Structure 1
Amino acid sequence: MSKRNLILALGLVVLAGCAAQAPEGGLEDGAPIPPEEVDISDEQDFQAVAARETIESDAARIEANRARYEIVAPEDLPVRPGDSMSLVVEFALATTNPKGQPLYRRPKNSREARFNRSCAKYTSSDLAQEAFLRRGGPKRDPMGMDPDGDGFACYWDPEPFRQARLAAEAEAAEAAGGTAPSR
């Protein structure tokens, strides 16, 4: 007898022993096991709720909720040490040129293959832009990540950061009762 057949035979013996101990049809007394009743909530049924709840039970529930209610004062978000994205955000907000407008000199023979290879190393354009800035960008481009010289590596776009700043300024101006700054 092979090992596989031996394991199958032992399994059948164990199952046969279990079947002999199980009551037929359900519970120990032989009564069938009733299916669990699943019903839709009746919280929207006024009569059902009125039959189960009283003004006193509602008041007790409201008081219990009030006792658990906690007011948390808003606080400024902490400054995260070493937050590398702040470099990218600062750069985005410090620039005004549109994407594709060359500002920095780049070699004319900048190869597309080098650009693609360099950019493929990063999972996002934000991470590529951060690496580009840390390696001397936008004035220098040692990895060929900004062939057009606009200062933005690997299709990175500063516009979302600029728009967020404009929206925040407009909201602050509106809250102060003034007009939004125009750009």
Structure 2
Amino acid sequence: MITRTLLAMTAGGLLAACQPAIPDSGNINTGRGVGFGDGSFEAEQRARDAALAGDGSYMPAASEVTAQPLDDGSPEATAAETARVLAATRPGGASNGLGNDAATNSGVAPVNASPSNPPPAAVNAVGISNENNFDAVSGQRSIQDDAARVAANRAQYEVVQPEALPERRNVGPNIVAYALQTNQSVGQQIYSRIGFNKARKFERACAQYGHADQAQIAFLEAGGPEKDRLGMDPDGDGFACDWDPTPFRRAAQG
């Protein structure tokens, strides 16, 4: 038992000797933290504070600048450059990629712009026409000529007298005339209706028409309002499939 204890203590001592030394945070020289023992952190901190303060004590390194030498700007150099550009832009001159030479324009010489050249004629110029310009018209014809033209135009006028409208024929019952000839309201029974399953016949008959006007015309053609062979007027008011004559009556009253 004692031997085992001694062996364990010996192994623990050997392991402790292999552990690296832990910095002492209480020592001002060694307690700066891991990685800050060389003083670089303090230098970076001072540089940052100086940059934020703007005292000019810290300035980043300037980037490298490269440039080509500029022209001397002498009158001789300016005259030479002007002559080169004029020679390149003149018709038949040497081409310098400006697109003004005959070769670049498919062999067609470009127009040589010059103050001595007359301006091109304006096409479709914006402005008033001659008919609305008194000065222009007065130079072409006189007031007497205009009066003669007006008289000639009036002589060609043709007055068409109104004629009576043709009478409609074979167009079926006129529901407008029927609405104005009657005075009963919708749902007011005027005619006797006898039969079975009147509601079912009403729905089946009215489903065949897309509008109540069409149903009313068919109802009148089939003998209505006295007779209701199609079952379109079960309440006997003389109006088929909920047709309402009120809009026609109001229109006639103005």
* 1:122 match: 209
Matched, 1:72 2:156: no
TM-score, length of structure 1 as denominator length:
0.53
Change (3 A) 1:147 1:59: farther
Matched, 1:99 2:207: no
Aligned counterpart for 1:133 among listed residues 213, 217, 220: 220
* 1:147 match: 234
Check whether the contact 2:173–2:221 (CA below 8 A) recurs between aligned residues. no
1:1-49 per-position Cα deviation (integer Å, ceiling 9, x unaligned): xxxxxxxxxxxxxxxxxxxxxxxxxxxx9xxxxxx9797x958xx9954
SS at match of 1:144: coil
* 1:13 match: none
SS at match of 1:66: helix
Q: Aligned residues: percent identity?
A: 46
The aligned length equals 128
SS at match of 2:198: coil
- Which has the larger share of helix? 1
Aligned counterpart for 1:90 among listed residues 177, 181, 186: 177
Change (3 A) 1:89 1:60: same
> Which amino acid letter does the alignment assign opposite residue 124 of structure 1?
H
SS at match of 1:89: helix
- Segments of structure 2 that go 5 or more residues without pairing to the other structure are 1-107, 109-122
TM-score, length of structure 2 as denominator length:
0.40
Question: In 2, Cα distance between the equivalents of 1:159 and 1:64?
Answer: 54
Question: In 1, Cα distance between the equivalents of 2:215 and 2:153?
Answer: 49
- Say which structure, 1 or 2, has more relative contact order (CA 8 Å, 6+ apart): 1
Task: Give, in angstroms, the shift of residue 136 of structure 1.
Answer: 1.7
SS at match of 2:215: helix
Q: RMSD of the TM alignment (CA)?
A: 3.5
Question: In 2, Cα distance between the equivalents of 1:61 and 1:108?
Answer: 80
1:118-174 per-position Cα deviation (integer Å, ceiling 9, x unaligned): 22323432221111012121122222211222111122222233334434xxxxxxx
Equivalences for residues 1-183 of structure 1 within 5 A: 49-51=133-135, 53=137, 55=143, 59=147, 62-86=150-174, 88-106=175-193, 107=195, 109-111=197-199, 113-167=200-254
- Segments of structure 1 that go 5 or more residues without pairing to the other structure are 1-28, 30-35, 168-183
Bigger Rg, structure 1 or 2: 2
Task: Give, in angstroms, the shift of residue 85 of structure 1.
Answer: 4.2
Question: In 1, Cα distance between the equivalents of 2:180 and 2:204?
Answer: 28
Question: In 2, Cα distance between the equivalents of 1:97 and 1:53?
Answer: 70
Question: In 2, Cα distance between the equivalents of 1:42 and 1:154?
Answer: 63
Question: In 2, Cα distance between the equivalents of 1:153 and 1:129?
Answer: 5
Question: In 1, Cα distance between the equivalents of 2:192 and 2:157?
Answer: 60
